[in-house]
Amino acid sequence: MTFLEEIARRRTFGIVSHPDAGKTTLTEKLLLFGGAIRVAGAVKSNKIKKAAMSDFMEIERQRGISVATSVMGFEYDGYKINILDTPGHQDFQEDTFRTLTAVDSVIIVIDAAKGVEPQTEKLMNVCRMRKTPVIVFINKLDRPALDTFTLLDEIEKQLQIKTRPLSWPINSGPDFRGVYNIYSRSLHLFDANVQEIRRGIVFDDINSPALEEHIGRDAAVLREELELLEGVYPQFQRADYLNGNLAPVFFGSALYNFGVKELLETFVKIAPPPRPSHAEEREVNPDEDAFTGFVFKIHANIDPNHRSRIAFVKVCSGHFERNSACKLIRTGKTMRITSPTAFMAAQKETIDEAFPGDIIGIPDTGNLIIGDTLTAGEEIHFKGLPSFSPELFRYVENADPMRSKQLAKGIDQLMEEGVAQLFVSRFNGRKIIGTVGQLQFEVIQYRLEHEYNAKCRFEPISMYKACWIECDNREVMSEFMQRKQQKMAIDRFGRDVFMADSQFILQMTQDEFKEIKFHFTSEF
Ligand code: G4P
């Protein structure tokens, strides 16, 4: 196979949803089709329903040992598919956002009874920002669902994207009869007692009386709804989907493995192969000869017996070969990657080569950090997804004076993994940790103790938001720094951060210092 053919057959995507909509179930069914797993139940759900710390650490420990589930690669119908797993827990949203920098498209799962939920909206915002093509899978049709047109309206309004149904459900809940696939013009009948995949019945002419033979009186409603929808929704244009302006919609029931195969078959046909990646200096096309890639995730193995970390690298261009020299742009050092791993069929294995779109795992002892660019030599820097202003803050103090070095190292490494953000107050020199969720504090404490043998204590700090500030006028900046002395801090990279006590104070400060720019993400 040629280099270009290898690129063209790759589909690298993420499945996202609000917790409980069915992401894990859908992922598992897709893996079953790809032969990547043989029995249902093989994919461990990584969400923590009750957010108990001990559960979370146990899940993380298991995931740490079998990092294979972070990326699931398999072959399907000549395509090489890479599904990137994202954490289900909302305290780990940033991890999900970063993973979304490495995908070429996304499938959003929505619960048909609940419609658009808060986390779906946040995830869609990230997709919109990056113009990532999105397919919507409306799940759980075997349960009573919201009205289909209402659901589609809600998606358009709340997710701010045009939709185009490519299949259409016939009732829901106990009366669920199946779906009509508009894209392939076929009827798929649902039977809760039959889980194996049955071929759809081709139905070019839905006005044919034969439709009544299959779905009785529901045929009339289906015809009416299809007619209505053809009037309301424009024809499906793949270009609109690829530009991120239109989301094709499918309906089904992941639990009953219904509608999943059609989703996968349409997905491989319409979803994009690897897309160009944006570096600060230029756009990088996948078909360029020279290798480039970036680190979007670092997975620490929190099992004390296997302490290595794995850096996940998305290959953006070129043919990656084992043992070839790569330049780590941040340090300028050349490194030889001797045992890159790939994640196939839920197994981790050493590979000799990889192509754009693939994710490779690089064993790391602390050289790589999230956002790092690796190239065959060219000095470019891939744009990552910025860190967001954290929302929860605590002072972190050493609880064991004999082990302050270990604590400092532990905190540094956890911050490099992107677990949370560290600020140092300019006023009193105290370290402040900022997170987006409560669970992270517990995770930090647990991991410091178990991995670094260090103990920390958190102390409350009343703070509303940390924002990065910038100003061309030196005088204004120095006046600001003086006036706000007690509220200034620096981040890990030495940048100035203003820590606002409350929304009110932030607003007042912004009004007073009009020349100063306040940034709420770390990339500006
Ligand atoms: P998530 O990863 O998005 O959080 O969701 P997950 O797949 O774990 O699904 C959440 C719950 O919804 C699970 O039930 C799952 O069995 C159920 N589910 C998923 N898809 C469907 C569907 O198409 N129809 C119906 N009726 N249910 C569905 P649970 O009881 O919470 O977990 P479990 O004990 O069954 O695993």
Which residue owns the Cα nearest ligand 1 atom 6?
Answer: 22
Find out whether the beta carbon of 143 lies less than 6 Å from any atom of ligand 1: yes
- The answer to whether the CB of 426 falls within 8 A of the CB of 498 is no
Q: What is the largest CA-CA distance in the chain?
A: 83
Which residue type sits at 236? F
Find out whether the beta carbon of 89 lies less than 6 Å from any atom of ligand 1: no
The end-to-end CA distance of the chain, in Å, is: 42
DSSP β-ladder status, 488-491 and 421-425: antiparallel
Residues 358, 502: Cα–Cα separation, whole Å:
44
Of residues 4, 15, 3, the one with CA closest to residue 81: 15
Q: Where are the beta strands (DSSP E) in 269-336?
A: 277-278, 283-284, 292-300, 309-317, 320-321, 325-328, 333-336
At 116 the pLDDT is 95
Find out whether the beta carbon of 45 lies less than 6 Å from any atom of ligand 1: yes
Atom of ligand 1 nearest to the CA of 49: 4
pLDDT in tens, the chain (524 residues): 999 999 999 999 999 999 889 998 898 889 888 776 655 555 554 443 444 555 555 555 554 433 445 788 888 999 999 998 777 666 677 778 888 999 999 999 999 999 999 889 888 988 998 899 999 999 999 999 999 999 999 999 999 999 999 999 999 999 999 999 998 889 999 988 876 667 788 888 888 898 999 999 999 999 999 999 988 898 899 999 999 999 999 999 999 999 998 899 999 999 999 999 999 999 999 999 999 999 998 877 655 566 678 889 999 999 999 999 999 999 999 999 998 888 765 566 788 999 999 999 898 887 888 889 999 999 999 987 667 778 899 999 999 989 999 999 999 888 888 888 999 999 999 999 998 778 788 888 888 888 889 999 999 998 999 999 999 999 999 999 999 999 999 998 899 999 999 999 999 999 999 999 998 877 65
- The answer to whether the CB of 134 falls within 8 A of the CB of 244 is yes
Find out whether the beta carbon of 259 lies less than 6 Å from any atom of ligand 1: no
- The answer to whether the CB of 19 falls within 8 A of the CB of 90 is yes
User: How many angstroms is it from 515 CA to the middle of ligand 1?
Assistant: 51
Find out whether the beta carbon of 254 lies less than 6 Å from any atom of ligand 1: yes
Residues 34, 326: Cα–Cα separation, whole Å:
32
Atom of ligand 1 nearest to the CA of 143: 26
User: How many angstroms is it from 461 CA to the middle of ligand 1?
Assistant: 39
Interior CA angle at 29 toward 293 and 94, to 5°?
40
Helix (H, G, I), strand (E, B) or coil at 295: strand
Atom of ligand 1 nearest to the CA of 18: 3
Half-sphere exposure (Cβ direction) of 38: Cα atoms closer than 13 Å: 0
User: How many angstroms is it from 282 CA to the middle of ligand 1?
Assistant: 43
Which residue type sits at 515? E
User: Which alpha helices (H) appear in 53-206, and where do they start and end?
Assistant: 53-65, 93-100, 118-130, 148-158
Mutate to test the pocket of ligand 1, among 255, 256, 260, 263 (most ligand atoms within 8 A of CB): 255
User: How many angstroms is it from 22 CA to the middle of ligand 1?
Assistant: 5
- The answer to whether the CB of 109 falls within 8 A of the CB of 137 is yes
Find out whether the beta carbon of 25 lies less than 6 Å from any atom of ligand 1: yes
Find out whether the beta carbon of 29 lies less than 6 Å from any atom of ligand 1: no
Structural domains in the chain, sorted by start: 3-173+234-270 (3.40.50.300), 286-375 (3.40.50.300), 392-519 (3.30.70.3280)
3-state helix, strand and coil shares in percent for the chain, rounded to the nearest 5: 30, 30, 40
- Residue 334, strand partner residues: 327
User: How many angstroms is it from 54 CA to the middle of ligand 1?
Assistant: 22
User: How many angstroms is it from 84 CA to the middle of ligand 1?
Assistant: 19
Atom of ligand 1 nearest to the CA of 27: 7
User: How many angstroms is it from 111 CA to the middle of ligand 1?
Assistant: 10
Find out whether the beta carbon of 27 lies less than 6 Å from any atom of ligand 1: no
Q: Which two tokens stand for residue 364?
A: 């790391």
Find out whether the beta carbon of 177 lies less than 6 Å from any atom of ligand 1: no
- With tokens 């040629």, the residue in question is 2
Find out whether the beta carbon of 375 lies less than 6 Å from any atom of ligand 1: no
At 386 the pLDDT is 66
User: How many angstroms is it from 128 CA to the middle of ligand 1?
Assistant: 27
User: How many angstroms is it from 271 CA to the middle of ligand 1?
Assistant: 25
Find out whether the beta carbon of 22 lies less than 6 Å from any atom of ligand 1: yes
Residues 40, 195: Cα–Cα separation, whole Å:
12
